[in-house]
């Protein structure tokens, strides 16, 4: 909806828990004045570790204007959002939830969307949907997701199911431990909504890769701040990618794809200057597989990592292997057919489609990792599918990749020498 009178949402800031996380509960209808209140209360909390300010949402909706403002603030400040189990977050509330990084859920939440409407006439409004569309695009959602989130009329709800979230590339994680937060009953609002099967648990908040635990002595957090809008360099020619899949056939399966290397300018942590990030956009058309791979310097001294790698898979709903079960690590190699050498680091499974790797900051590991990253021309990403079959994704740097790595490491070295530059 656009705006509607009534009592404002209750916004409560809790003291930090044992892990240093701060929860901000937003309960009830979102009204026009709520952004001002939310901004004032959360602005007092910073500085805080990225991902450790978690906005808990329980609402049937309200003002889109306030929701968009709150969402923009969450996105820019690197907050996480959370819908507890057995709680409802629809309409304007769901728009706020999408701004979190990461977006988190408990057990069986209900998250739903519908088109914007004028509360006086109860009719859909094009202006409101235009605002919502621009906001969602600003959150880096695909057009397919935006269409789905605005196609239902004011009296119905498009529920976000696990399959739908996977299809649209909307990453979610389960927050551990779940928080059971009471919410006042709102039967008159519940009656407006169509019932739908509850959302099942999407993924664990963090699942450690057994093969990587010995490579780094300290735990790496499972959440990072969202990147700022990237400023992309000129498009480079595609380089070679090969997907090898385990198969009963003697030589397995081999699929050819491509990778586009480039550098993006992003802000890894709120309040810090933007830095170069190396990005690779991978496609294997025959498998309808797409992967976004990125490497950036870790500016957070509280993390036991020199650099972080993020790997995001986008799979079709009918992917033959069912999905991704594990990514054990990351290897470098001299050529497509040569033996790979593993990078020392720790893998975190954020969701079934999203993995983070923190590269070890132990002196010996750090020197070896940097040598491998700079000198070897091919990456190998080992993958375990849901059907237990294994695969490896091999991608070539080529000249575009070499340029991207040279530019990024030069910028990172300069920043390390002069952080204020």
- In whole angstroms, give the CA distance from residue 392 to residue 389: 11
For the chain, give the mean pLDDT: 78
Q: Please give the pLDDT value at position 413.
A: 82
Work out the burial of residue 13: count CB atoms within 10 Å of its CB; fewer than 13 is exposed, 13-18 middle, 19 or more buried.
Answer: middle
Check: pTM over 0.95? Answer yes or no. no
What mean pLDDT is predicted for residues 417-421?
49
Q: How far is CA 308 from the centre of its chain?
A: 14
How many Cβ atoms sit within 10 Å of the Cβ of residue 107?
14
Q: How confident is the model at residue 421 (pLDDT cuts 50, 70, 90)?
A: very low
Q: What's the pLDDT tens digit per position in 262-290? A: 998 776 555 566 778 999 999 999 999 99
pLDDT of 204 > 70? The answer is: no
Which domains occur in the chain, in start order? 10-190 (3.90.226.10), 207-417 (no CATH)
Torsion of CA 45, 51, 52, 55, to 10 degrees: 70
Mean pLDDT is lowest, of 136-145, 282-291, 378-387, 410-419, for 410-419
Residue 303: pLDDT over 80:
no
Judge whether residue 103 has pLDDT over 70: yes
- The predicted pLDDT at position 117 comes to 83
Identify the pLDDT of residue 250.
Answer: 57
């Amino acid at each position: 909806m656009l705006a509607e009178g009534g009592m404002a949402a209750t916004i409560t800031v809790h003291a930090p828990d044992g892990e240093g996380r701060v929860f901000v509960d937003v309960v009830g209808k979102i009204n026009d004045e709520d952004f001002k209140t939310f901004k004032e209360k959360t602005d007092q909390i910073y500085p805080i570790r990225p991902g450790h300010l978690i906005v808990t949402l329980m609402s049937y909706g309200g003002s889109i204007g306030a929701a968009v403002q709150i969402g923009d603030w969450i996105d820019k400040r690197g907050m996480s959002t959370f819908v507890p189990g057995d709680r409802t977050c629809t309409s304007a509330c769901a728009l706020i939830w999408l701004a979190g990084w990461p977006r988190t859920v408990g057990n069986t939440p209900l998250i739903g969307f519908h088109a914007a409407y004028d509360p006086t006439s109860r009719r859909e409004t094009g202006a409101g949907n235009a605002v919502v569309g621009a906001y969602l695009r600003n959150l880096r959602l695909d057009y397919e997701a935006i269409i789905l989130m605005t196609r239902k009329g004011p009296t119905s709800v498009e529920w976000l199911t696990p399959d739908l979230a996977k299809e649209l590339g909307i990453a979610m994680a389960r927050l551990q431990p779940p928080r059971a937060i009471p919410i006042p009953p709102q039967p008159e609002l519940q009656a407006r909504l169509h019932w739908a099967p509850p959302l099942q648990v999407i993924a664990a908040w963090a699942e450690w890769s057994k093969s990587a635990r010995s490579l780094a002595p300290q735990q790496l957090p499972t959440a990072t701040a969202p990147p700022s809008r990237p400023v992309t360099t000129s498009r480079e020619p595609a380089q070679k990618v090969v997907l090898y899949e385990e198969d009963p056939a003697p030589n397995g399966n081999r699929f050819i794809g491509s990778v586009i290397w480039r550098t993006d300018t992003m802000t890894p942590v709120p309040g810090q200057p933007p830095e170069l990030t190396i990005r690779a956009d991978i496609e294997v058309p025959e498998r309808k597989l797409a992967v976004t791979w990125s490497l950036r310097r870790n500016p957070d001294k509280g993390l036991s990592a020199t650099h972080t790698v993020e790997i995001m898979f986008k799979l079709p709903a009918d992917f033959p292997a069912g999905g991704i079960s594990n990514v054990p690590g990351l290897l470098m190699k001299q050529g497509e057919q040569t033996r790979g050498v593993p990078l020392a680091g720790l893998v975190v499974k954020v969701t079934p489609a999203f993995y983070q790797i923190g590269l070890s900051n132990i002196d010996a590991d750090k020197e070896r990792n940097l040598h491998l990253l700079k000198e070897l021309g091919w990456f190998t990403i080992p993958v375990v599918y849901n059907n237990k079959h294994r695969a490896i994704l091999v991608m070539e740097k080529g000249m575009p990749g070499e340029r991207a790595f040279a530019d990024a490491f030069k910028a990172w070295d300069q920043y390390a020498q002069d952080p204020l530059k």
